[in-house]
Structure 1
Amino acid sequence: MTTISKVAIVTGAGQGIGFEICRQLTVAGIAVILNDVDAQLAAQAANTITEENGRCIAFPGDASDVTFIQKMVHAAVVQFGSLDIVIANAGITLFGDFFTYTPEAFQRVMQVNLAGTFFLAQAAANQMKKQQRGGAILFTSSVTGHQAHKDLAAYGMSKAALEMLAKNLVIELSPFQITVNTIAPGATLTERTLSEPGYADTWSRLTPMGRAASTADIAQAALFLVSEQARHITGQSLVIDGGWTSTSPQP
């Protein structure tokens, strides 16, 4: 088994980008608390990683609930002794026409995408302060926080807000040697997107690099930003979209 060097929490990681981030963290010798709202998905994902000799514990639950967030941070410390890396990846996309978008949909998007990220960062930063050895926090934004996309006004708004949150937290966290950054993925091939008819072909055509991203493309960028090699990078957003935001054709 690999030697544990650090401990990470990754939310929304039962499949897709979050799962691949967890897998690559464990390959690097980092112990992971893997969260997903779907308990079965979380368990399956953690088992898969464990079978690959990674150190990974499933911690299912609602990553937008403040009480649950506090329990998750506590669990990381109890299970592995510290908390060094947090990747707030959990988020939901609720498409809807602006003229008829409901308050219920709006509040749910903001609760998961914004409140969940904000309070996970808060809980993690407080733990990292106690440890007095720095840390790394990473938010998952989106290209829709940079460019308009039809029927995603609320979602795009939430993702742009995450990037401003990272910038603002530079003031709060830098004195404690805690970095905070965001990644902004573009079209990515995941279990969810591949279930959409024509997704891969459409985004291969619209992306200047000629293909949608793989989950590994996104995970490798995430790992860099939480690594020691990025210790002097903070308050930044890294767009990973094969050039789409430079041209921005709509599907």
Structure 2
Amino acid sequence: MRFENKVAIVTGAGQGIGFEICKQLVQRGAIVILNDIDDAMANNAADQITSDKGICIAMPGDSSDVTFIGKMVNTAVTRYGSIDIIIANAGITLFGNFFTYTPEAFTRVMQVNLGGTFFLAQTAANKMKQQEHGGAILFTSSVTGHQAHKDLAAYGMSKAALEMLAKNLVIELSPHNITVNTIAPGATLTERTMDDPAYEKTWAALTPMGRPASTLDIANAALFLVSDLARHITGQSLIIDGGWTSISPSPF
């Protein structure tokens, strides 16, 4: 999988899965715009990734803000000449009991997970359809869009919706040579999940493959789906969970 001269935007990439995706893209020659809502985190991540193999620039900001989305896409096109890859990875997880879940929490989850993804795809696709070579769009869903998980009703709902969005957009994007797919990670070792000292041991016991995913496991799948090797794959969702959804034991 090579990405020389490809221009990509990856949201929610200051750490974790998004960071690893950016790192792998740059190592394979891509020019990457790395977004995170945290200014310091975005800039630090981009500084770590930039190398003589590729370019990574930070664009801190709210990936659910339509004006900022337009700024990211326009920066890619005006500075580098095209936008070839979009990875809408930004998302928030707000746990909460269904009976007491607040309208404010619900609105924010939908704004970021759905609204940000929808309008990033829309804005980028309007540029991609002007390119002869089209482009590749990837959404980050979750296994919780496939299997119920306690206190994640709103989050799981948003992730399932992303997979339907990818299927639906096949109709409109395929004539313009644009693919759109989704990855659905399961338990993954990131800076956030490792804050829980029991996380790795718990999910190793629940996962048929005997361990939670690494961020590289997820990044490898993401890179495949936005690479030229996957140009005839669109409207699909790839679950990366070590087999957890096949048996779905709960950690609770």
Q: TM-score, normalised by structure 2?
A: 0.97
SS in 2 for 1:158: helix
Separation in 1 of the partners of 2:186 and 2:3? 33
Separation in 2 of the partners of 1:126 and 1:97? 39
Show the counterpart of 2:234. Answer: 234
Separation in 2 of the partners of 1:26 and 1:80? 15
Q: 1:102/1:52 Cα in 2 relative to 1: closer, same or farther (>3 Å)?
A: farther
Q: Which amino acid aligns with 2:41?
A: L
Q: TM-score, normalised by structure 1?
A: 0.98
Aligned 1:6-45 pairs, distance under 5 A:
6-45=6-45
- How far 1:29 moved relative to its partner? 0.8
Show the counterpart of 2:153. Answer: 153
Show the counterpart of 2:73. Answer: 73
Question: Aligned pair count?
Answer: 250
Separation in 2 of the partners of 1:32 and 1:121? 16
Deviation by residue 1:194-214 (Cα, 9 ceiling, x = unmatched): 011200000000000000000
- How far 1:54 moved relative to its partner? 2.9
Show the counterpart of 1:172. Answer: 172
- How far 1:81 moved relative to its partner? 1.3
Separation in 2 of the partners of 1:234 and 1:53? 29
Contact between 2:28 and 2:53, CA under 8 Å: does it hold in 1? no
- How far 1:4 moved relative to its partner? 3.7
Deviation by residue 1:174-199 (Cα, 9 ceiling, x = unmatched): 00010000000000000000011200
Show the counterpart of 1:224. Answer: 224
Moved over 6 A (4+): none
| Runs of at least 5 residues in structure 2 that lack an aligned partner in the other structure | none
Q: Which amino acid aligns with 1:178?
A: I
Show the counterpart of 2:125. Answer: 125
Identity of aligned residues (%): 77
Alignment pair present for 1:245 and 2:245: yes
- How far 1:130 moved relative to its partner? 1.5
SS in 2 for 1:130: coil
CA-based RMSD of the aligned residues comes to 1.2
Contact between 1:23 and 1:54, CA under 8 Å: does it hold in 2? no
Q: Which amino acid aligns with 1:144?
A: T
Separation in 1 of the partners of 2:176 and 2:3? 26
SS in 2 for 1:131: coil
| Runs of at least 5 residues in structure 1 that lack an aligned partner in the other structure | none
Q: Which amino acid aligns with 2:183?
A: I
